[in-house]
Amino acid sequence: MSRIKEFPLPDLGEGLTEGEILSWLVKVGDTIELNQPIVEVETAKAAVEIPAKWGGVVARIFFEAGTTVEVGAPIIAIDTDPSAGPLPDFDGPVPSAESLAAVQIAPAEGAVEPGMAGSPAPNAGRTPVLVGYGPKTTAAKRRPRLGGTPVAAPPIAETPPPPPAPVPAPNPKPAPGVRTAGPVLAKPPVRKLARDLGVDLTAITGTGPLGSVSRDDVHQAASARQQAATAAPSVTTARAAAVFDASREQRVPIKGVRKLTAENMVASAFTAPHVTEFLTIDVTRSMKALEKIKGRREFRDVRISPLLLVAKAVLLAVKRHPMVNSTWSGATNEIVVKEYVNLGIASATERGLIVPNIKDAGRLTLRELAEALNTLVQVARSGKTPPSDMSGGTLSITNVGVFGVDTGTPILPPGESAILAFGAIKPMPWVHKGKVKPRQVTTLSLSFDHRIIDGELGSKFLRDIGDFLTDPEGALLSWS
């Protein structure tokens, strides 16, 4: 160990960050003993004398009396072996770099970022505290993870390096420590920055320790994108060659409702042979009927939508064709025909697609059905649909019309045998009473499980729904 020892100002009182040097009790050249009082320091808590940590000769005093000094800064240097002769090249009251590191806050340019393995532990940002144990007085260094630091030889990654792009890509550069798997490594402030700049972290090849994404990486990616955007129109010779790599892809984790939906869809699509039929109808009369219902006193305070009539049509049609409301039970070699209809309504929510159902919807009056639909939709949108509402569905409606499309080919919710898609209602030229007239037209599509429902049954069921929606009064009167 060096014969010159520097004494850093310690934390004299449980969490102090600085102290003022009141007076020096020794001067350069003085011979001092261990524990001899050398300096009087006043902190936020007390004025105290500090005893010398080593005997020897005072070589340097780094701060004058009256100076406020950060805890951890060297205040005095003591030659602990003055008998060993004059000191070689020791001049200037400058603390050594090593000792200054104790109070250094930011790492040097290009150094490991604070907070990452191998970087200084985050004790540099001191905050004054009055009680308890606060800042440390020495700079601890985090140990790097095994195999986590770059080595001289090129890193061997589990994945082969991407083939060279035809033109040097603007942003990605080889990572010193290649991340081979797992989520993107980036500190929260970097993630925030990426969000603010609209940069996709997963598209960046990190150059930080362990392949983590640094602030520079994010800035670089953002500026590269901007350059590409501005350069394109101005360059007449050739646009920068398109890059088809991770920088232009987004990776969304498959989880939660999305994952469940996917599993359900796959299970359904590959177990139940689907058939889909379409029917385009004139619903002008239904729309008029809706207006009439809205005008009735008992419907004054309830929201009425075309979906209500579609639901009613389905429920009435089920009564005429009970077989569509059934489940294929392969385990028992049975078809379970249900006398109750738990009517599922596919709902788009922030969490993804869910299909809550209205229990025993067939028993509800129109007004009750309207209320149940409203409640179901509101609860689904608030994300609070209880699991019990999502299980036990027997037949479903998906209202794709709200998205402005004509129709689709819905996939059956597992365990159900029929699902009706209900497209957008829009004015269309329609042959009405022998003349082409603008009418309110929509397209219905019905997917059904062909194991249970033959084309004939499915077609009749769909036809009945269409009849009701085309002429509600006539259907009601003729069916009853």
Q: Are 335 and 328 in contact (CB under 8 A)?
A: yes
Cβ at position 51, least distance to another protein in Å? 4
By beta-carbon proximity to another protein, the closer residue of 74 and 458 is 74
CB of 13 to another protein, least distance (A): 4
If one asks whether residue 143 binds another protein (CB under 8 A), the answer comes out as: yes
Contacts of 291 (CB under 8 A, 6+ apart): none
Q: Does 146 bind another protein (CB under 8 A)?
A: yes
Residue 374 burial (CB < 10 Å; 0-12/13-18/19+)? middle
The structure tokens 């440390």 sit at 136
The yes or no reply on residue 19 touching another protein (CB under 8 A) is no
Task: Please identify which residue in 144, 155, 176, 414 interacts with another protein, judged by CB under 8 A.
Answer: 144
Task: Round to whole Å and give the CA distance between 390 and 7.
Answer: 70
Rounded distance, CA 252 to CA 247, Å?
A: 14
Which H or E run contains 473?
Answer: helix 472-479
Residues 33-72 close enough to bind another protein by CB under 8 A: 34-35, 45-51, 53
Residue 382 has phi, psi (to 5 degrees) of -80, -5
Tokens representing 373 are 């639909």
Counting contacts by CB under 8 A, is residue 149 touching another protein? yes
Q: Which CB sits closer to another protein, 149 or 223?
A: 149
Asked whether position 139 contacts another protein by CB under 8 A, the answer is no
Taking every pair of Cα atoms in the chain, the longest distance, rounded to a whole number of angstroms, is 122
Contact window for another protein (CB under 8 A) among 142-150, 332-340, 359-367, 383-391: 142-150
Q: Least CB distance from residue 245 to another protein, whole Å?
A: 31
- Which listed residue (97, 108, 133, 331) binds another protein by CB under 8 A? 133
| Cβ–Cβ under 8 Å, residues 358 and 369 | yes
Site for another protein in 105-124 (CB under 8 A): 117
Q: Select the residue interacting with another protein from 11, 282, 467, 471 (CB under 8 A).
A: 11
CB-CB contact of 360 with 414 (8 Å): no
Is 407 a binder of another protein (CB under 8 A)?
A: no
In the bound state with another protein, the residue whose beta carbon lies nearer, of 146 and 229, is 146
CA-CA-CA-CA torsion sign (264, 270, 274, 280): positive
Catalytic amino acids? 450
By CB under 8 A, residue 257 contacts another protein:
no
Q: Does 352 bind another protein (CB under 8 A)?
A: no
Q: Indicate whether 100 belongs to the interface with another protein (CB under 8 A).
A: no
Closer residue to another protein in complex, CB, 37/322? 37
Q: In degrees rounded to 5, what are phi and psi of residue 50?
A: -105, 125
Q: Which range touches another protein (CB under 8 A), out of 94-102, 146-154, 248-256, 409-417?
A: 146-154
What is the distance between the terminal CA atoms of the chain, rounded to a whole angstrom? 104
DSSP state of 191: H
Cβ proximity to another protein: between 11 and 282 the closer is 11
List the interface residues with another protein, window 288-327 (CB under 8 A): none
* Helices of type H across 321-381: 366-381
Q: Which amino acid, one-letter code, is at 14? A: E
> In angstroms, what is the minimal distance from the CB of 43 to another protein?
9
Q: Are 119 and 112 in contact (CB under 8 A)?
A: yes
Distance between CA atoms of residues 91 and 283, nearest Å: 97
Query: Given the rule CB under 8 A, which of 145-153, 316-324, 393-401, 412-420 is the region that contacts another protein?
Result: 145-153
384 binds another protein (CB under 8 A): no
Sign of the four-CA dihedral 305, 310, 316, 322: negative
Q: In the complex with another protein, which residue's Cβ is closer, 121 or 266?
A: 121
Residues of this chain that bind another protein (CB under 8 A): 7-14, 34-35, 45-51, 53, 117, 133, 137, 143-146, 148-149
